[in-house]
Each structure stands twice: as C-alpha cells, then as structure tokens.
C-alpha cells in the first residue's frame, strides 16, 4: 500500500521553503485554508475542541475526534496533521491504538505532547506508536512544553529542550514542536543541536518567518490564533448588532456566499 500524502507531508519539512500551516478546526476552515494555498492542513486541539463544544485539555471524546477527522478528510486533497494533545490517555498502548485509527483514516501526521510529565512518558508513547504502526508512515511531531509551561529555569531551558528532543528522536519522533519559543537565538541553538525539523507556533512580536527559517526553523503553525481571530470578529459583529442594531461590522471583511459554497462541490 502506498501513502502518497504521508510521503508528501514528510518531504514538506525538508523543502527549500518554510512549511507554513494555518490551523483549522472544521471542514469549512480546512477547505478555506486549502483553497488559499496551504500545502497541508494542521488542526489546533483547542480550536477543534471548542468548535465541538468541549474545553481544551483532554476533554474531547475519541468518537468526536474521529468523526471530525472524517469530515475534514472529506474536503481535503492535501495532507492532514492532527493535534492529539497527549494522546487523550496515559496508556501508551491506548495512544498507539488511536494513532493507528487515525492512520487508517489517512491522517499523515500528528502532534503529541509531553505536557507537565517527565519525558519518559512521551518516549514510551512514541515507541508504542511506532511499534503499532509498523510500516505505516506517520509524521510524529513531538511537542515539548518545557518553554510553554516554564518547566526549567531560564539558564537550563534550552538544554532541557535539546535533551528531550534527543530522547524523542531516539524513540521514533519525526519532528520537534516547541510552542512558546519566540527568541531567534534560542531557535537557532535548538535547530543546530537537533536533527529533527523544528516547528514553532507563531506568536506576536516574533521575528519574521523568513528570518527564522534562515536560522533553521522548518515549520510554522498558528495554534488557536486563526480560530480566535474568526470568533473575535463574530463576537464583535454580534455585540454591535445586539446592542446598537447596527450592521456595519457584520458585513465588513466577510467572504461571499458563492465563494464559500463553491468549496463544497
């Protein structure tokens, strides 16, 4: 069995261009981003959970997740990579079973995080995934929350990130995701010390994508930012309409019915 989208997705991390992935949360957002030229579609675990009526942080039921993947895959022609938080379980075998189910649906990659746990926990999950997947390709983007959660002192943070990256690579990870890292100097140090393609989450006041790419960062994702921007606009529209009965905001920057409907032939 061939896996062209999985192969394509892996190759995107080793291109001469930065891999920029807007994070979708449903079929409509995924179709919009695909139409806009995204070479692959990533999800934000927070945005996906919110869109289905659940809080972020391991609250999304497996059945809801798999149903969402079905809807995403129905409209996508590019690779899909899914953020699965910590795998929604502390049991490595359960996480591996979920990843195999996602692979069977054609998912090309996943993010899986260490959170506040010791790195050995994620190491075992990655090993279990690789064992269960066998020859089935899957881009496993190992996320470390050392920076995001402040799990190390300022002087030891980068060393801790590199140490975890080494462990995750040995276990079978394909990439390294370090959310919260915004310093070009820190990113450069990690990229030079780590063989895994480095993924950063775009945040305000970061250096430009092109400059970070030149320093070795390969992949850039938006996390929940696109969802928050869209729902921020929706909230402003509703507030204006309900409190003032004005409609200016409602029609500002709106896409058209025809253009959106045409995404679903």
Return phi, psi of residue 175, to 5°: -150, 170
pLDDT for the residue 90: 95
Helix or strand holding residue 199 (H, E): strand 198-201
pLDDT for the residue 2: 61
Assign 177 to helix, strand or coil.
strand
pTM of the entire predicted model = 0.96
d(CA 31, CA 8): 19
pLDDT for the residue 1: 54
Domains and CATH numbers, the chain: 4-223 (3.20.20.60)
pLDDT for the residue 42: 98
pLDDT for the residue 184: 95
Running along the chain, 265 residues long, what does each successive block of 10 average in pLDDT?
Answer: 88 97 97 98 98 96 97 98 97 98 98 97 98 98 96 94 98 98 96 97 96 97 97 95 94 93 93
* Residue found by looking up tokens 């066998």 in the block: 134
Token code pair at residue 141: 């983007």
- Across the chain, how many H-helices and E-strands are there? 12, 9
- CA 34 vs. chain centroid, Å, equals 15
d(CA 59, CA 46): 10
Assign 263 to helix, strand or coil.
coil
């Amino acid at each position: 069995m061939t896996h062209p989208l999985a192969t394509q997705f892996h190759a995107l991390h080793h291109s001469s261009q930065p891999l920029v992935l807007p994070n979708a949360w449903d079929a409509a957002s995924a179709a919009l981003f695909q139409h806009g030229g995204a070479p692959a579609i990533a999800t934000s675990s927070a945005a996906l959970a919110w869109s289905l009526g659940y809080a972020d942080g391991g609250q999304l039921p497996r059945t809801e997740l798999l149903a969402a993947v079905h809807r995403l895959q129905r409209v996508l022609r590019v690779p899909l990579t899914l953020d699965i938080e910590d795998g929604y379980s502390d049991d490595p075998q359960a996480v591996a079973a979920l990843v195999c189910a996602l692979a069977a649906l054609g998912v090309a990659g996943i993010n899986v995080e260490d959170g506040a746990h010791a790195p050995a926990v994620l190491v075992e999950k990655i090993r279990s995934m690789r064992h269960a997947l066998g020859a089935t390709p899957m881009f496993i983007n190992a996320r470390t929350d050392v920076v995001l959660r402040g799990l190390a002192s300022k002087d030891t943070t980068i060393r801790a990130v590199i140490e975890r990256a080494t462990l995750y690579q040995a276990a079978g990870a394909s990439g390294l995701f370090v959310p919260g890292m915004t310093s070009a100097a820190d990113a450069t140090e990690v990229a030079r010390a780590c063989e895994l393609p480095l993924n950063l989450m775009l945040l305000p006041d970061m250096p430009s994508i092109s400059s970070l790419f030149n320093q070795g960062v390969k992949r850039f994702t938006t996390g929940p930012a696109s969802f928050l921007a869209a729902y921020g606009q929706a909230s402003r529209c509703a507030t204006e309409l309900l409190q003032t009965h004005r409609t200016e905001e409602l029609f500002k920057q709106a896409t058209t019915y025809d253009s959106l409907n045409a995404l679903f032939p």
